[in-house]
Amino acid sequence: MQVVDFNSDMGEGFGPWTIGDGVDNELMTHISSANIATGFHAGDPGTMRRTVARAKALGVAVGAHPGFRDLVGFGRRHINATAQELVDDILYQLGALREIARAQGVSLQHVKPHGALYMHLARDEEAARLLVQNLQAVEPALLLYCMPGSAICRIAQQLGQPVIREFYADREYDASGSIVFTRHVRALQPAAVAERVVRACQQGIVRTVEGQDLAIAFDSICLHSDTPGALDLVEATREALRVAGIEVRAPR
């Protein structure tokens, strides 16, 4: 039986504010790995604690989701900073969630940079290498979620940091294999998203914005919780995977 991980970003509110449709509790019942916001682009200590508790209760694996220091822009604006500054910020956020999780008897499965930081590390070799070197020092077994073929994926594989390559269910791809980054995601049709995911799982291809089929290899499906109608998209995708005989399971 084919097995794939299904991850989504969780805990991306701040204080009394929620992001998207506020469907984290329901959406988490359909995923296997949760990327929990760590305070810089979204999230706060109480939200982090509650999100870890929810994941623990459901048997969902937990990972840190560090972003640029950009609450106003939700981490989707690029910030010019040195590689060392960025890595310091990532380690700070990783440590925060790790201790909140540890207090509840939960170990972190993975780390996945958020938004514009994810895209920055996909292309900036200096920052990517410094981050992986630091992960090797503090958490050499921590899974690193990243885009296949990206700079950080390649460097992590070279240095021995385990990677989980992602497929984005709710983002477009271009001919280079990169996701088309956008701050405002339009509403998507659940059936179309589900079909796209199953096709990627079974055939290893995705249709690009240029209208061509692109070969893609991945270990985890990502669908963002702040995409309009995220719960409907996840439910349709999980049902389509079930019908196709594809099991959803965390890497660890």
Given a cut of 90, whether residue 117 has pLDDT beyond it is yes
Count, residues in the chain? 252
In angstroms, the CA 236 to CA 229 distance is: 11
Instruction: Give φ, ψ of 105 to 5 degrees.
Output: 75, 25
Given a cut of 70, whether residue 183 has pLDDT beyond it is no
CA angle 171, 229, 68 (to 5 degrees): 50
pLDDT per residue as tens digits for the range 119-151: 999 999 999 999 999 999 999 999 999 999 999
Contact 108, 141 (CB under 8 A): no
The single-letter DSSP state of residue 185 is P
Q: What pLDDT is attached to residue 63? A: 98
- Mean pLDDT of all residues belonging to the chain: 95
In angstroms, the CA 187 to CA 54 distance is: 27
Comparing CA positions, the residue from 146, 148, 150, 195 lying closest to residue 169 is 195
Please report, as a single letter, which amino acid is at residue 102. Answer: R
Q: What pLDDT is attached to residue 16? A: 86
SS3 at position 11: coil
pLDDT per residue as tens digits for the range 193-239: 999 999 999 999 999 999 999 999 999 999 999 899 999 999 999 99
The domains of the chain, with CATH numbers, are 2-248 (3.20.20.370)
Q: What pLDDT is attached to residue 182? A: 67
How many CA atoms, within 13 angstroms, populate the side-chain half-sphere of residue 190?
Answer: 13
In angstroms, the CA 24 to CA 8 distance is: 9
Q: What pLDDT is attached to residue 205? A: 96
Q: What pLDDT is attached to residue 127? A: 98
DSSP-H helix ranges across the chain: 24-27, 45-58, 83-102, 115-123, 125-138, 151-159, 190-203, 230-243
CB-based contacts of 140, cutoff 8 Å, min separation 6: 160, 161
Given a cut of 70, whether residue 20 has pLDDT beyond it is no
pLDDT per residue as tens digits for the range 57-78: 999 999 999 999 999 999 999 9
pTM of the complete model: 0.95
Given a cut of 70, whether residue 184 has pLDDT beyond it is no
CB-based contacts of 202, cutoff 8 Å, min separation 6: 2, 244, 246
